[in-house]
Amino acid sequence: MPNTFVKIASVTVGAGGASTMSFTSIPSTYTDLLVKFSARSSQTGTDNSQANLTFNSSSSGYSDRLLYGRGSSASSASSATSYITWAGIVPAANATANTFSNSEIYVPNYAGSTNKSLSSDNVEENNSATDNFLTLLAGLWSNTSAITTLTLTCNGGNFVQYSTATLYGIKNS
Amino acid sequence: MASTYTPIATTTLGSAAATITLSSIPSTYTDLVMVFRGNNDAGANRAGYIRFNSDSGTNYSYTLLQGDGSSAGSGRDSNIAQSFFANVLGADTVAITQIMNYANTTTNKTFLSRGNSASTVTQAIVGLWRSTSAINSITLSLNASNYASGTNVTLYGVKSA
């Protein structure tokens, strides 16, 4: 029986950090993509930093709808016609040492000729009264191109050493 | 390497349909994952429903958490004839539904669903079907509309070993 849940590539950030974690030359032979990543930012002066996602190095056409909780109440936000979409909250320099976020992003029909929707779940637990996040996101890249490149970036600072991301391909046959 | 994530069935609607049914689900997996990508033909926000084994008794309940871009909320319903699994509006609707331990014959069945439409809402739903029967079919329907042509549903079986 063929394996239909396949690791395409994996990235681990080395000493010195990295501004991005990228997957290029993504083959079009799967049905869906799944990205799992664990990350932390070097951004100083804050507990949290935002990780962002772009496809094919495109800087337009993103929108999203976000639901998040920080330990006391739940809130919702949205953005439209953005140059990025949200990939999650990651701990930054002031967060508990050695603590990383965990995130999962599912992209169905990534190689099709329709706009690209995604589902993203993200958690950051920081043993803090205020700076913890659980986020759920619906995202859309209004572009009919097949996704061949996927890039995660930090809104501030770099991804620190030991941040990791793995890209999986899922086939429906 | 043995495959532990296996496509069981996939269907793409060639024309609008009131229901989508995935039948003859084998009991050989541990969990099920359903990936829904589609739209309705009403051009308005519609509730997507899920029913197991064609059971139309009032054996379902659910609780949801959702955000519409400006506010967050939670809701639920009990003793209903089918469960909610996602709002469906716009071609960007994606729902990923995980049904745990679906083939056992001693416990009721619980599922987790993540409904997503970047233009309307993001949701997390927990649903319960109060039946100890193994799940052998899944039927999706909509409130007062049809699933639009092009709607795609794939069901995967996940093995723990």
Of A76, A117, A136, the CB nearest to B94: A117
Instruction: Provide mean pLDDT across the span A66-70.
Output: 94
- The region of weakest confidence among A8-22, A128-142, A155-169 is A128-142
Query: Could you tell me which chain A residue has the CA closest to the CA of B74?
Result: A74
How far apart are the CA of A124 and the nearest CA of chain B, in angstroms? 18
Whether residue B152 and residue A114 make contact (CB cut-off 8 A), yes or no, is: no
Q: Which residues of B touch A32 (CB under 8 A)?
A: 35
Query: In sequence order, which residues have a C-beta less than 8 Å from that of residue A120 and are 6 or more positions away?
Result: A86, A87, A88, A103, A104, A105, A106, A135, A136, A137, A139
Q: Which of A55, A86, A90 is nearest to B69 (CA)?
A: A86
- Write the single-letter amino acid at A136: L
Predicted confidence (pLDDT) per residue in A90-114, tens digit: 999 999 999 999 999 999 999 999 9
Contact A102, A135 (CB under 8 A): no
Nearest to A4 among B3, B69, B117 (CB): B3
Pick left, alpha or beta for residue A95 (phi over 0 → left; psi -120 to 50 → alpha; otherwise beta).
Answer: beta
- For chain A, the structural domain boundaries read 5-170
CA distance B72 to B50: 23
For residue B1, what pLDDT band results from cuts at 50, 70 and 90? very low
Is the Cβ pair A67, B70 closer than 8 Å? no
B6 contact residues in A (CB cutoff 8 A): 1, 4
Q: Most A CBs within 10 Å: which of B1, B33, B45, B122, as the mutation test of the A interface? A: B122
Would you state the pLDDT for residue A2?
59
How confident is residue B12, by pLDDT bands cut at 50, 70 and 90? very high
Distance of CA A68 to the CA centre of its chain: 15
CATH architecture of B5-158: Sandwich (2.60)
Q: What pTM was computed for the model?
A: 0.94
Tell me, what amino acid is at A64?
D
The arithmetic mean of pLDDT across residues B120-145, rounded, is 97
Exposure b/e, A118-134, CB count within 10 A at least 16 = b: bbbbbebbbebeebbbb
Identify whether the C-beta of residue A51 lies closer than 8 Å to the C-beta of residue A163: no
Q: Any idea where the domains of chain B sit in the sequence?
A: 5-158
Q: What is the band of A4 on the pLDDT scale with cuts at 50, 70, 90?
A: confident
Q: Give the integer Cα–Cα distance in Å for B126 and B121.
A: 16
Residue B8 at interface with chain A, using a CB cutoff of 8 Å = no
Q: Which ipTM score applies to this complex?
A: 0.91
Give me the CATH topology for the region A5-170: Jelly Rolls (2.60.120)
Say if the Cβ atoms of A139 and B69 lie within 8 Å.
no
Predicted local distance difference test score (pLDDT) of residue B111: 97
Residue A173: band (very low, low, confident or very high) from pLDDT cuts 50, 70, 90: confident
SS (H, E, C) chain B: CCCCEEEEEEEECCCCECEEEECCCCCCCCEEEEEEEECECCCCCEEEEEEECCCCCCCEEEEEEEECCCCEEEEEEEEECCEEEEEECCCCEEEEEEEECCCCCCCCEEEEEEEEECCCEEEEEEEEECCCCCCCCEEEEECCCCECCCCEEEEEEECCC
For A29-88, give the secondary structure using H, E and C. CCCEEEEEEEECECCCCCCEEEEEEEECCCCCCEEEEEEEECCCCEEEEEEEEECCEEEE
Mean pLDDT within B120-137: 97
A3–B1: do the CB atoms touch at under 8 Å?
yes
In terms of Cα–Cα distance, which of A34, A172, A168, A30 is closest to B8?
A172
pLDDT at B2 over 70: no
β-pair partners for A57: none
